[in-house]
Chains A and B, each alone.
Chain A
């Protein structure tokens, strides 16, 4: 149950039709292998022992709070920072010894970093031009790239004359036109407003499917990560907490931190003795070994009222707070002792002050403690 070994999770469990059709191997070949990478700036340790593999054509999100080291990790892959220790491999090629301009990796920067003195098409053609491709090829590929991001009509404009969303598309085209093996995106959507952001999430994801290039996407927004990613690598204070598909990371969080960072959860701290779990006033039978234990229980796994089914854990409580979230509501219920449970219900129900709540013990996922770091 406790997953200490990340390698078991690193093998992609993608349900892609392509893989199913291939049916030979479920694991795609690793494109980039990050091995035991650590980074410190002076005495400030930013990354500790990061090992991660990125598969061909994968959309991997590095998710973490500000200061978790996610941008530093991206910059190490791009070549703007040198890892203090550890290795980067792209196939049989050692990547970390190479300067950024030799790596077949391109980046979409947080604020796009378009060249203000060049037009949109010159920006897009920049990489091909420094690579001294023939002019005809440059023109053709730039036209194609601009068409792909629907920016053809703005080709002759300077970056300052187009909107943030359009600059974003140009930055994408500028990177993709070089046909990198890996595209890095550093919070590219953070500067956009909410609506445009959602739209770009969808576009970015479909673009990635279309071009088939592996994306490493950095964000602090867990929702964005869930919507777009094949896998999420969750960083916390410079260490990987969990690497898994969005579904898995949501339904089987490895640690208390993951459970809390991704969506809402109830953390139930208890102890197991002789096959019985006790959390505050709750108890249920279990096959877990004796000792202290921590559970994550998602609000939607708890029901208001009693179904009468057997094997459910039930308790009564008083409603503390009710928060409307559109289709659902989150209700905080004060149960006996110090136990407060957050319950997700469909909106519209007007529960009374005193409620009964129940959940199935099988929905309570054992998670590791997340001790304070730094």
Chain B
């Protein structure tokens, strides 16, 4: 937007076609979402054009629909648990990649990325095979009473998303000024204190970024969930299941809520980033070329 405006200010007649092109791209991206939101208020249900009798009925139906809300809660539960799992494993993995030398490090670095690239079908199927093993199945049944449940979905998401956590936090670590940690040790803080007082605060942004990304990815994940689903549906699977019986604007309504929720998340993330810009400035200044030896 800003770019376009400065461009047109400099040369008012020139980039008109560019503006049109931008509008087209914008429309291509957001028209479906606009339609989705619009029809969530349509009294005639889906299909009719133009929408008529704007109403909040579908939202009322939605709020009265217990199955949808169960699936939303299930999804939230899975997303938070997957976030916890992938961060718990991802942060140490990123630290190991950044800080220590170990045999097979290059291989590990590539392998840890693999679940990100692997089709969800493979991840889902392979996890299903694993959970089908007698021993594993026994343990799962002992914990939840079922072989497949939200627990298996959570494990699936957590596994698949460790790679996201690792790469995001590794990128953050690479930008971190190591002299700060040395300064902390120098001032009498132990390695552990340094980690909590200097490393983690400096990784706040990558950690929150990774958490939000994991949360979002888990919330709308279908492929892996599909293989690992037990009795309880997650939201995408619930929606998918209902769509097989035909579209209702109730689905539009729940999607609109998800969309708004995502928007709020993005704005929150952006503001956080802007607020810590000061820290980022110091960072770049510290990375300026040091002329001395190693």
User: Which A residues are within 8 Å of any B CB, using their own CB?
Assistant: 41, 46, 66-72, 78-80, 99-101, 105-107, 109-117, 126-127, 130-131, 158-161, 174-175, 178, 186-187, 190, 220
The reply to whether A187 and B182 form a contact with Cβ atoms under 8 Å apart is: no
CB of B279 within 8 Å of the partner chain: yes
Closest to A67 in B: B293
Task: List residues of chain A with CB within 8 A of the CB of B188.
Answer: 101, 127, 130-131, 178
CA separation between A223 and B283, bound complex, in Å?
31
> Which of the 9-residue segments B196-204, B239-247, B265-273 touches chain A?
B196-204
Indicate the size class of the contact surface on chain B. 20 to 34
The reply to whether B186 and A78 form a contact with Cβ atoms under 8 Å apart is: yes
The reply to whether B292 and A66 form a contact with Cβ atoms under 8 Å apart is: yes
Minimum Cβ distance to chain B for residue A325 (Å): 25
Minimum Cβ distance to chain B for residue A225 (Å): 15
Minimum Cβ distance to chain B for residue A108 (Å): 9
Partner of A160, one of B191, B201, B202, B282: B282
The reply to whether B279 and A116 form a contact with Cβ atoms under 8 Å apart is: yes
The reply to whether A69 and B182 form a contact with Cβ atoms under 8 Å apart is: no
CA separation between A178 and B197, bound complex, in Å?
18
Partner of A109, one of B183, B197, B198, B285: B183
Partner of B282, one of A114, A126, A178: A114
Given A116-B282, A160-B279, are A111 and B293 also a contact pair (CB < 8 Å)?
no
The reply to whether B183 and A99 form a contact with Cβ atoms under 8 Å apart is: no
CA separation between A111 and B288, bound complex, in Å?
9
CA separation between A105 and B185, bound complex, in Å?
11
Task: List residues of chain B with CB within 8 A of the CB of A113.
Answer: 177, 179-180, 182-183, 286
The reply to whether B286 and A158 form a contact with Cβ atoms under 8 Å apart is: no
Task: List residues of chain B with CB within 8 A of the CB of A100.
Answer: 182, 185-186
The reply to whether A130 and B185 form a contact with Cβ atoms under 8 Å apart is: no
Task: List residues of chain B with CB within 8 A of the CB of A71.
Answer: 292-294
The reply to whether B292 and A101 form a contact with Cβ atoms under 8 Å apart is: no
* Sampled A-B contacts (8; CB under 8 Å): A80-B185, A99-B185, A100-B185, A111-B179, A114-B282, A117-B279, A160-B278, A178-B187
Closest to B287 in A: A111
Given A71-B292, A113-B286, A159-B282, are A174 and B185 also a contact pair (CB < 8 Å)?
no
Number of interchain pairs (Cβ within 8 Å): 112
The reply to whether B291 and A115 form a contact with Cβ atoms under 8 Å apart is: no
The reply to whether B185 and A101 form a contact with Cβ atoms under 8 Å apart is: yes
The reply to whether A68 and B185 form a contact with Cβ atoms under 8 Å apart is: no
Partner of B186, one of A41, A106, A220: A106
The reply to whether A80 and B180 form a contact with Cβ atoms under 8 Å apart is: no
Partner of B292, one of A106, A159, A187: A187
CA separation between A61 and B198, bound complex, in Å?
30
CA separation between A374 and B255, bound complex, in Å?
69
CB of B193 within 8 Å of the partner chain: yes
The reply to whether A115 and B278 form a contact with Cβ atoms under 8 Å apart is: no
CA separation between A110 and B177, bound complex, in Å?
12
Closest to B293 in A: A67
The reply to whether B189 and A101 form a contact with Cβ atoms under 8 Å apart is: yes
Minimum Cβ distance to chain B for residue A219 (Å): 10
Beyond contacts A106-B187, A174-B187: 4 other A-B pairs, Cβ-Cβ < 8 A, are A107-B182, A114-B180, A126-B189, A160-B278
Minimum Cβ distance to chain A for residue B236 (Å): 37
The reply to whether A220 and B283 form a contact with Cβ atoms under 8 Å apart is: no
The reply to whether A109 and B182 form a contact with Cβ atoms under 8 Å apart is: yes
Name which of B179, B187, B290 has the most chain A CB atoms within 10 A of its CB. B187
Closest to B279 in A: A116
CB of B190 within 8 Å of the partner chain: yes
Minimum Cβ distance to chain B for residue A220 (Å): 7
Task: List residues of chain A with CB within 8 A of the CB of B292.
Answer: 66, 70-71, 110, 186-187, 220
Task: List residues of chain A with CB within 8 A of the CB of B190.
Answer: 99, 101, 130
The reply to whether B294 and A110 form a contact with Cβ atoms under 8 Å apart is: no
Task: List residues of chain B with CB within 8 A of the CB of A127.
Answer: 187-189
The reply to whether A111 and B286 form a contact with Cβ atoms under 8 Å apart is: yes
CA separation between A126 and B283, bound complex, in Å?
19
CB of B184 within 8 Å of the partner chain: yes
CB of B281 within 8 Å of the partner chain: yes
CA separation between A186 and B278, bound complex, in Å?
25
The reply to whether A107 and B291 form a contact with Cβ atoms under 8 Å apart is: no
The reply to whether B182 and A80 form a contact with Cβ atoms under 8 Å apart is: yes
Closest to B193 in A: A130
Partner of A116, one of B187, B191, B202: B202
Task: List residues of chain A with CB within 8 A of the CB of B204.
Answer: 117
CA separation between A113 and B293, bound complex, in Å?
17
Interface flags for B111-132 (1: CB within 8 Å of A; 0: not) read 0000000000000000000000
Partner of B189, one of A114, A130, A174: A130
The reply to whether A117 and B187 form a contact with Cβ atoms under 8 Å apart is: no
The reply to whether B293 and A69 form a contact with Cβ atoms under 8 Å apart is: yes
Closest to A71 in B: B292
The reply to whether A68 and B179 form a contact with Cβ atoms under 8 Å apart is: no
CA separation between A233 and B281, bound complex, in Å?
36
CA separation between A106 and B185, bound complex, in Å?
9
Interface flags for B23-67 (1: CB within 8 Å of A; 0: not) read 000000000000000000000000000000000000000000000
The reply to whether A115 and B293 form a contact with Cβ atoms under 8 Å apart is: no
CA separation between A175 and B293, bound complex, in Å?
23
Minimum Cβ distance to chain B for residue A215 (Å): 15
Closest to B181 in A: A113
Given A113-B177, A126-B184, A160-B278, are A66 and B291 also a contact pair (CB < 8 Å)?
yes
CA separation between A161 and B291, bound complex, in Å?
25
Name which of A68, A79, A159 has the most chain B CB atoms within 10 A of its CB. A159
Minimum Cβ distance to chain A for residue B14 (Å): 39
The reply to whether A72 and B182 form a contact with Cβ atoms under 8 Å apart is: no
Task: List residues of chain B with CB within 8 A of the CB of A116.
Answer: 180, 202, 278-279, 282-283
Minimum Cβ distance to chain A for residue B279 (Å): 4
Minimum Cβ distance to chain B for residue A143 (Å): 18
The reply to whether B281 and A160 form a contact with Cβ atoms under 8 Å apart is: yes
The reply to whether B182 and A115 form a contact with Cβ atoms under 8 Å apart is: no
Task: List residues of chain B with CB within 8 A of the CB of A115.
Answer: 180, 183-184, 198, 201
